Amino acid sequence: MNELGLLSNGVNPVLLIVVPLALAFAVPLIGFISKKIIKYIPVLAFLFNLIIAILLIPKVLHQPIIVKIGGFQPPFGINLYVGTVGILFSTLIALAGFLVSIYALNYIKEGPKEKYHILYLLLLTGATGVVLTGDIFNLFVFFEILCISSYALVAYFGNRAGIESSIKYLIQGSVGSSLLLIGIGLLYGQFGTLNMADIANQIQSASSPSIFVPMVLMITGLGVEAAIFPLNAWLPDAHSSAPSSISAILSGIAIEVGLYAVIRVLFTIFGASNFLMFFVFLGVLTLLIGEMSAFSQKNIKRMLAYSSIGQIGLIVFAVSLNTQYGVSAGLFQMISHTLGKGLLFLAAGYMIYRTASMDISSFEGIGKKMPYTSLAFTIGTFSLIGLPPFIGFPSKFMIIKAALAKEGILFTVLVGLVLLGTVIEGAYFFRVVQVIYFKKGNGNQERKEAPITGLIPMFIFALLIIFIGIYPNFIIKILNSAASELLNKIDYIRSVLG
Amino acid sequence: MRKIIGIILLIIICWGIILALYKIPFGIPKTKVGEYYIDKGREETGAANVVTSVVLNYRGFDTLGEVTVLFIAAIGLGAALATLKKKEKRKIEPSSLILRTGCRFLFPLILLFGAYIFIHGHLTPGGGFQGGAIIASAFILVYLGCRGRRISEVSSKTTESLGGLIFVIIGLVGLAVGGHYFLSNFLPKGELNTLFSAGIIPIIYIAIGFKVGSELAGVIDNLMEES
Amino acid sequence: MDFLSNNIYYIGAFGLIFIGLFIILVKHNLIKVIIGISILETGVNLFLIAVGYISKGTAPIFSRPGLNAKNMVDPVPQALVLTAIVIGVAVLALALSLAIRLYKHYGTLDLRKIKEQRW
């Protein structure tokens, strides 16, 4: 007998979800002992998750792990499907969660801090659950954990803008999740099961109305969180009025997880390759609308939020090309966006804190006052625009290459539009960089840098951006394996149902 | 204008759903997973109430998520209302003797009924969430009847976290001893239809009952302070 | 008439869903919108229960020996609805607390007058 069941056959991936959850439940109890140590709990939890996720990567690349909760055979019990995509995303979530929780040590000074840390832990627990689960109703539950804790966190400061955008987000989000639930109900009524692999096994084609309607309902419901074009009215408000550490998570993790859910439902459950042309257009539309709205913004956080919409459009475009290369390019762009946008929001957070204004024009001369933060901000913008040697360059390059590999004049036109989007992106980001470095600020020029707990996560983000930008082959293998997992529905079904 | 667009949108959705519903005629016999639970549920989990065995054993992970959602709501509500709290003493008109005595008389009875519902969750209709809601209703009665009485924040917070922690820890113990599966039912199943049966199910339901009761009471307490 | 009696639960459930969606789309008062969300969720829950129903079925509880398992309704939708109800309560509580905050800030709940944020 193995007395340490936790360590039998390596580490059980369910710990990635359970440990942060248990710590979140324990926070109020720990708070009775000492209020000071609460803020270190998220740091510990996500350091643990990061280590476990990295340890699991080689094993998962070899073969996906199926975790049966309660020991019941799928489709009768809930199972976790820890494939390459799942482990890739949970590593990303743990990494961003770890770095942003270091940032929050000094950044979160006001308000009910204990509650902030609980909600933060639960937000990322929900995200990890969504990417790992293999059961469609379980996906809904974790999705709700993710959404409800982000509604609460957007309203954290309790100012006018925060409350108002939180309400907007809540109304749209709860309509979306009701639609998702109707879709799940329709699927259950037809197939009598909630296991994703079992449903996928029984769906032959997505064209008949009895399959098409639940698909549309589910994509609409998940698309609210993923911020695909007509469903993203909440995003700029919510991202700009949340605390900056939360904006980084919402922008870097929450939208990506929403997109993951859309992709998983579309590719694995419905196998809907004949509807993907629609998403190609939707992606380009989202990209252009996002970038154009970002161009006309004067508020730095709103600009970054609209830029997120643009990036989401780019990812949707790449993934719906439906080729191996295109899907891995899309996933690469997701990683690039998480790192880049996370860095930008963190840097912007302290720039806003020091100047006490979100207006871009108030950043004049801040390059002298906060040299390190400004440098980090600049690296983030260059990476998002797609300049070498940063991570944005190989990912955007891959997307363009994947799109050009498709035959036809149509894709050439679309690539032209994508490049136009990148040019607009370059224009507004260069404008900010120019304000930071080349405009003389009025008043005192004394240096007042961000505290060290703010600088460390920014520089780890920046180092990762440069490192992967120079050695993209480092993760290309993982991305290829992830892309084939998403495209190969048969293997998914076989590995779950046996 | 907005109304017309809304109606058109709804008619489109309505038409689509009617098309999809043709495949799901009403009142048909059970589907495959449901049939399995009814046939095998008693042996595999030991609970006479099949719904409970689905909620806490087959789909126990969902329930853990559900408990978490309620926890988030309680915490988020506290966070949203936190900065507003001004501890001003409002003058409260004392309630009449009959009302006060009635509340005091009913309060323990309602608590007992709630506890009965969640302890017998694996035998009769009911369970932790329903029992917890009944317990919270006892606290509403006290708030409305014996005005000025409040639950202590410390004890409600402790109950909340302990309830959640017990659920997770039982799951982890299952991972360690019960065949290495999270939330596996590692305790003896006992005899069907008796109080001490169904392994971990009654323990988890008791934890959930306490947790839901204190959480809902806390939510009501927070909202009452604002109004 | 036969159609009506065969599908009465579906009709009721989707009636509630449409009423809820219509309220959310058309009304401007925040409390009414929250009520709309609540009605929508109730409709979805009723729909889920209706999916699992069997004509003349009983609750899936073996409370005494000799019950016919053939007549029992599907237990899975009931478990799902339990989860969905709790999630609905959570969203409702959070929405109401935000509404209280919003009212303290603006002194009104009319969504047309609350326009700090713009596109």
| Distance between CA atoms of residues A478 and B166, nearest Å | 38
* Interchain contact, C44 vs A170, CB within 8 Å: no
CB atoms within 10 A of CB A409: 7
CA distances from residue A274 to A207, A322, A323, A398, C62 in whole angstroms, order as listed: 9, 10, 13, 23, 47
Residue tagged 């073996």 (tokens)? C62
- Residue C84 reports pLDDT greater than 50: yes
Q: Which helix (H) or strand (E) holds A306?
A: helix A300-319
How many whole angstroms from its chain centre is CA A275?
Answer: 24
Domain regions of chain B by residue span: 2-226
* Interchain contact, C101 vs A155, CB within 8 Å: yes
Both tokens of residue B144? Answer: 């409305």
- Residue B29 reports pLDDT greater than 80: no
Q: Residue C12 domain-assigned?
A: yes
- Residue B89 reports pLDDT greater than 70: no
Nearest Cβ partner of C90 from A148, A163, A165? A148
A363 touches chain B (CB under 8 A): no
pLDDT at site A375: 92
Q: At what angle do helices C30-51 and C75-106 cross, to 10 degrees?
A: 180
C112 touches chain A (CB under 8 A): no
Q: Mutation test of the interface with chain A: which of B12, B59, B85, B184, choosing the one with the most A Cβ atoms within 10 A?
A: B59
CB atoms within 10 A of CB C8: 12
Asked if residue A497 lies in contact with residue A75, where contact means CB atoms within 8 angstroms, the answer is yes
Q: Which residues contact A148 (CB under 8 A, 6 or more apart)?
A: B69, B72, B73, B76, C87, C90, C91, C94
Closest CA to A470 of A392, A409, A362, A411: A392
pLDDT at site A444: 62
pLDDT at site A342: 93
The burial class, CB within 10 Å (0-12 / 13-18 / 19+), for C66 is: exposed
User: Which amino acid, residue A277?
Assistant: M
Q: Please name the chains neighbouring B, where neighbouring means 3+ C-beta pairs under 8 angstroms.
A: A, C
Residue tagged 């439906």 (tokens)? A322
C62 touches chain B (CB under 8 A): yes
pLDDT at site B202: 87
Q: Mutation test of the interface with chain B: which of C62, C103, C112, choosing the one with the most B Cβ atoms within 10 A?
A: C62
Both tokens of residue C44? Answer: 């979805």
Nearest Cβ partner of C75 from B26, B37, B129? B37
Both tokens of residue A28? Answer: 């109020």
| Distance between CA atoms of residues A479 and A475, nearest Å | 6
- Judged by DSSP in three states, A307 sits in helix
* Interchain contact, C21 vs B10, CB within 8 Å: yes
* Interchain contact, A185 vs C41, CB within 8 Å: no
Closest CA to A301 of A355, A350, A247, A252: A247
* Interchain contact, B70 vs C86, CB within 8 Å: yes
Q: What is the DSSP string of B82-143?
A: HTT--------PPPPHHHHHHHHHHHHHHHHHHHHHHHTTTTSS--HHHHHHHHHHHHHHHH
**Distance between first and last Cα of chain A:** 26
DSSP symbol at A66: E
Percent of chain C with pLDDT over 70: 96
Distance (Å) from the alpha carbon of C100 to chain B's nearest alpha carbon:
8
pLDDT at site B30: 66
Residue tagged 């609209």 (tokens)? A306
| Distance between CA atoms of residues A9 and B181, nearest Å | 12
Tally of domains in chain C: 1
Residue of C nearest to B29 (CA): C54
Asked if residue A324 lies in contact with residue A487, where contact means CB atoms within 8 angstroms, the answer is yes
B82 touches chain A (CB under 8 A): yes
Q: Please name the chains neighbouring C, where neighbouring means 3+ C-beta pairs under 8 angstroms.
A: A, B
Q: Residue C60 domain-assigned?
A: no
Distance (Å) from the alpha carbon of C8 to chain A's nearest alpha carbon:
17
| Distance between CA atoms of residues A462 and A305, nearest Å | 20
| Distance between CA atoms of residues B91 and A233, nearest Å | 45
* pLDDT tens-digit map of B134-187: 999 998 888 888 766 677 888 888 888 999 999 999 888 888 886 678 878 778
Q: Residue C111 domain-assigned?
A: no
Q: Could you tell me how many residues make up chain B?
A: 227
A7 touches chain B (CB under 8 A): no
Closest CA to A15 of A72, A63, A80: A80
CB atoms within 10 A of CB B189: 16
Both tokens of residue A189? Answer: 């009524």
pLDDT at site C119: 45
- Residue C116 reports pLDDT greater than 70: no
pLDDT at site A445: 62
Asked if residue A121 lies in contact with residue B45, where contact means CB atoms within 8 angstroms, the answer is no
Radius of gyration of chain C from its Cα atoms, rounded to whole angstroms: 20
Q: Along the 498 residues of chain A, how does pLDDT read in single tens digits?
A: 343 444 445 678 889 999 999 999 999 999 888 888 888 999 999 999 999 999 998 888 888 888 888 888 888 889 999 999 999 999 999 999 999 999 999 888 887 888 999 999 999 999 999 999 999 999 999 999 999 999 999 998 888 888 989 999 999 999 999 999 999 999 988 888 899 998 998 887 767 888 888 999 999 999 998 888 888 888 998 998 899 999 999 999 999 999 999 999 999 888 877 788 889 999 999 999 999 999 988 899 999 999 999 999 999 999 998 889 999 999 999 999 999 999 999 999 998 888 888 888 888 888 888 889 999 999 999 999 988 889 999 999 999 999 998 888 888 899 999 999 999 999 999 999 998 888 776 666 667 788 888 899 999 999 999 999 999 888 898 999 999 988 888 888 888 887
pLDDT at site B84: 61
What average pLDDT does the segment C15-23 reach? 91
- Residue B67 reports pLDDT greater than 60: yes
Q: Residue C63 domain-assigned?
A: no
Give me the domain span that covers residue C29. Answer: 2-54+71-106
Q: Give B-chain residues touching A75 at CB under 8 angstroms.
A: 33
Q: What is the DSSP string of A325-337?
A: HHHHHHHHHHHHH
